[in-house]
Amino acid sequence: MSEQVTCRACGASELRPVLSLGRTPLANACITAEELDQPEPTYPLDVVFCPACTLVQITETVPPEKLFGNYLYFSSFSDTMLAHARALTSELIAARALGAGSLAVEIASNDGYLLRNYLEAGIAVLGIEPARNIAAVAQQRGVRTMCEFFNADLARRLRHEGYQADVLHAHNVLAHVADLHGVVAGIAELLKADGVAIIEAPYVKDLLDKVEFDTVYHEHLCYFSLTALTHLFARHGLTIVDAARIPIHGGSLRVTAGRESRPSRAVAALLAEEAGWGVDQPAVYLKFARQVEALRDQITSTLRRLKAEGTTIAAYGASAKGATLLSYCGIGRETLDFVVDRSTAKQGRYTPGTHLPILAPEELLKALPDYTLLLTWNFADEILAQQQAYRDAGGRFIIPIPSVEIV
């Protein structure tokens, strides 16, 4: 563990405290039955803001090998993620005229859920995925994958071996890396002269507006604005040439970076919008902290009331978001009977910290809890549709973000 005392992006030392979520376990560290009686490490989860470059970040850095060496999040279990990847890759193949002589690279490529769309179109791919178990699954699916952490040294090695990317994807990874400059420098190294990098990350404005405090966990070291990303990429000779807000994961920012020097009108418009709402003003983030405390009280009071009425409550989603929410709100086995999740890699394990058993989603229809707390609220439409039979049988979902709603 190491504590960050200077900004991860610009090195400024005057970091402003925003929010403390207390000490929490690692959000994706679902444990086995044999580990239930063993000590479970927890780490401070504190959010700070850099007025110099606007980067929102946490102060503690857990070694990446501990977080990602063996990982339990498989993107392919989400229909929403699959559809999102399919639409984006189809658009890029057409817009950039990618073909047999092209190369698509993804860092933190997970189980190959995105790159296999390029493969099916006859385009060469290279995935870079540090989690051994997940990289093995991608390889089994025919997606060429290196099991390594991406940085500037690896990028130079790959370039020396003849790899240069026409398109490089970095989806939900930039927020996870402690060595921001090493990764962005590596992206610049690996791109062809006319290549582009497509980066997606949770957008800080959605975090603020929707009170998405559960997006904060130890894997997410940073929470980006376009302003912060523009400063970061410029340090490595890259320009953000396009930007868009997208709905995935409760609200994300997608940017396109390359060596072109002219940003699109969309970039200028979003930068102006950020300046307008005060991206560089500490008061904006302190207001968020107050809203988080109020939402915590709303969630806990709702659950207490339902339990006092004698109802049964389960949860859907053994997710990282859920781990943060349960830990910060102090919700555990006194309130929830079990958690269900589609991921077979998590079923049979227990949630970190709260030690709730993780079962298959079919258990909802069997046990018929009166209510189910939707911890993966960012996939609410998908899950509510999948669980129509449970809802038809009288089951109701509690959506906790951005405010408590029962459906």
pLDDT tens digits, one per residue of 226-238: 999 999 999 999 9
Model confidence band, residue 128 (pLDDT cutoffs 50, 70, 90): very high
Q: Taking residues 350-373, what's their average pLDDT? A: 97
How far apart CA 179 and CA 176 sit, in angstroms, is 9
- Lowest mean per-residue pLDDT among 60-74, 218-232, 331-345: 60-74
C-beta separation of 318 from 346 below 8 A: yes
pLDDT at 295: 98
- Residue 4 has phi, psi (to 5 degrees) of -85, 120
Model confidence band, residue 77 (pLDDT cutoffs 50, 70, 90): confident
Domain 75-276 has CATH 3.90.320.10: no
pLDDT at 69: 62
pLDDT at 236: 96
C-beta separation of 228 from 60 below 8 A: no
Looking at the predicted structure, is the pLDDT value of residue 117 above 90?
yes
Looking at the predicted structure, is the pLDDT value of residue 353 above 90?
yes
DSSP labels, 74-137 = -GGG-HHHHHHHHHHHHHHHHHTT--TT-EEEEES-TTSTTHHHHHHTT-EEEEE---HHHHHH
Domains 75-276 and 284-406 share a fold: yes
Looking at the predicted structure, is the pLDDT value of residue 56 above 70?
yes
Looking at the predicted structure, is the pLDDT value of residue 73 above 70?
no
pLDDT at 398: 98
C-beta separation of 380 from 399 below 8 A: yes
Q: Parse the chain into domains and list their residue ranges.
A: 75-276, 284-406
How far apart CA 330 and CA 147 sit, in angstroms, is 37
C-beta separation of 179 from 114 below 8 A: no
How far apart CA 369 and CA 344 sit, in angstroms, is 21
pLDDT at 75: 74
pLDDT at 50: 97
Q: Taking residues 304-314, what's their average pLDDT? A: 98
pLDDT at 68: 67
Superfamily holding 284-406? NAD(P)-binding Rossmann-like Domain (3.40.50.720)
pTM: 0.90
pLDDT at 70: 63
How far apart CA 89 and CA 117 sit, in angstroms, is 7
Long-range contacts of 290-299 (CB under 8 A, 24+ apart): 291/211, 292/19, 292/211, 292/213, 295/211, 295/213, 295/400, 295/401, 295/402, 295/403, 295/404, 296/213, 296/328, 296/329, 298/403, 298/404, 299/325, 299/329, 299/331, 299/400, 299/404
The residue with greater pLDDT, 87 or 81, is 87
pLDDT at 79: 87
Looking at the predicted structure, is the pLDDT value of residue 64 above 80?
no
Each residue of 327-339: pLDDT tens digit? Answer: 999 999 999 999 9
